[in-house]
Structure 1
Amino acid sequence: MIDPAAPARRWPLIPTLLVAAAILTMIALGVWQLQRKGEKEALIALYERNRAMSATVAYPALPPVPDAMLYRKSSVTCLEPVRWDPRSGTDREGKSGIRMVADCRTGAEGPGVLVDVGIAEDFTPPAWKGGTVQGTIVPGPEQPSLIARLTGRAVPARAMLVADAPVAGLRASAVPNGADVPNNHLAYAVQWFLFAAAAAVIYMLALRRRRL
């Protein structure tokens, strides 16, 4: 039992400050995720508008590719595929296979362009020596990680052109669209708010137990 005559115990200052700081940080992260949700929704809407446009744009010479150009129609001349980067993918019928991504030389200098020329049955590169390719500009297969972006070490990511017509012997690759961009920020925000509430409840219970 609690003795009424006993002096009231003060809240422990340092632990309380640490817990309060942690809770405020989690709430701030939840608010930030809600802001990111709105930004991502606007970005997806932009991508969908881009995809609906029929006019072609000039393929950007250097990365990064502006959002206003992603999912737009374009064309590029591949002088020579200097490297092949086979990756898993699907064709436009939903059948799985190996997506053949060519790292193409477009001139004497520059980073070149990535071109998805179609879906193969295995990892054997097609006998394609280059040429003009028409297709859709999409984000490239290698994007900087969140840690790299936060630390300022991210290298500008190259986009990729998904060919409208596959090269001989391959199937046409499925073309991504803006709706494929993940938008899980609401779930992340709810998680942070729940973490903050749980931390507050656990700390209050710990204090109550300490006073008994």
Structure 2
Amino acid sequence: MTEPAPPVRRWPLIPTLLVLAAVAVMIALGVWQLQRKGDKEALIALFQRNMAMSSMVAYPELPPVADAFLYRKSSIVCLEPVRWDPRSGTDQKGRAGIRMIADCRTGAEGPGVLVDVGIGDDFTPPKWTGGTVQGTIVPGPEQPTVMERLMGKAAPARAMLIADAPAPGLRASAVPSAEDTPNNHLAYAFQWFFFALVALIIYVLAVRRRLQA
């Protein structure tokens, strides 16, 4: 009497489909990061052109601020600083200190304008009561996080004006450069592609070991 043939082991269908779906998602995320890399490079080029312009634009008081306004010269009239937000920063010579950011009232209503009036050596706000401020429009210190953007809970980010001439007793703040705009999307793309490759290799090795057992 012949013995029954051992059952033929086959690749598991459902786990394989799940792994392939996960790999496809990771590859899609990598391709999306490559697209984001191109968009960010175009944005940096726009900021560089803006920095080269000497003409002034009207300050966009209401967020969100269009990219065409960032790193352009502008001016505002601060009726009075209603709140101070000291933060770490550097002056134009690279010396570290405390950046004095005033939330300025520019009219009876509205969100006001953030103005960086200079760098101090401590957290004591300057004795500055407002006036006409000319400077450079830059992204504000409070930008939405990636998770807030993905979840649709990101509030419109306010811009900020960095004063050309500091308030009395302060040093002029350094103006961020367009080159400081982060562009890590190529590294993120490689990470997603690497994760997809590793996941596929691990799954293939695991299934082959199971089939050969």
Measured against the shorter chain, the TM-score band is over 0.9
Distance in 2 separating the partners of 1:190 and 1:170:
44
Query: How far apart are 1:153 and its partner, in Å?
Result: 1.2
Q: Please say if 1:141 is aligned against 2:141.
A: yes
Give the aligned length: 208
Matched, 1:19 2:19: yes
Residue aligned with 1:56, SS: coil
Task: Give matches, 1:66-85, under 5 Å.
Answer: 66-85=66-85
Partner of 1:93: 93
1:107: which partner in 2?
Answer: 107
Paired with 1:153 and 1:211, the residues of 2 have a C-alpha distance of 48
- Residue 8 of structure 1 and its aligned partner are, at CA, apart by 3.3
Q: What is the letter of the counterpart of residue 167 of structure 2? A: V
Q: Distance in 2 between matches of 1:150 and 1:103?
A: 28
* CA displacement at 1:6 relative to structure 2: 4.3
Quote the Cα distance in structure 2 between the aligned partners of 1:203 and 1:8: 20
Deviations 1:57-96 (A, max 9, x none): 0001311110000000000000000000000000000000
Q: TM-score normalized by structure 2?
A: 0.96
Match of 1:31 in 2: 31
What TM-score, normalized by structure 1, do the two folds share? Answer: 0.96
Moved over 3 A (4+): 5-8
Q: Which moved more, 1:30-39 or 1:11-20?
A: 11-20
For residues 90-118 of structure 1, the C-alpha deviation after alignment (integer angstroms, 9 at most, x for no partner) is 00000000000000000010000000000
The residue that corresponds to 2:58 in the other structure is: 58
Match of 1:130 in 2: 130
Displacement after TM superposition at 1:7 (Å): 4.7
Give the conservation status (yes or no) of the 8 Å contact 2:36–2:185: yes
Task: State the alpha-carbon separation in 2 of the partners of residues 49 and 152 from structure 1.
Answer: 31
Partners of 1:206 and 1:61 in 2: CA distance:
58
SS in 2 for 1:104: strand
CA contact (8 A) 2:76 2:134 kept: yes
Unaligned 5+ segments in structure 2 are none
How much does 1:148 deviate? Answer: 1.2
- Percent of aligned positions that are identical: 76
Pairwise CA distance, 1:170: 0.2
Mean alpha-carbon deviation: is it higher for 177-186 or for 7-16? 7-16
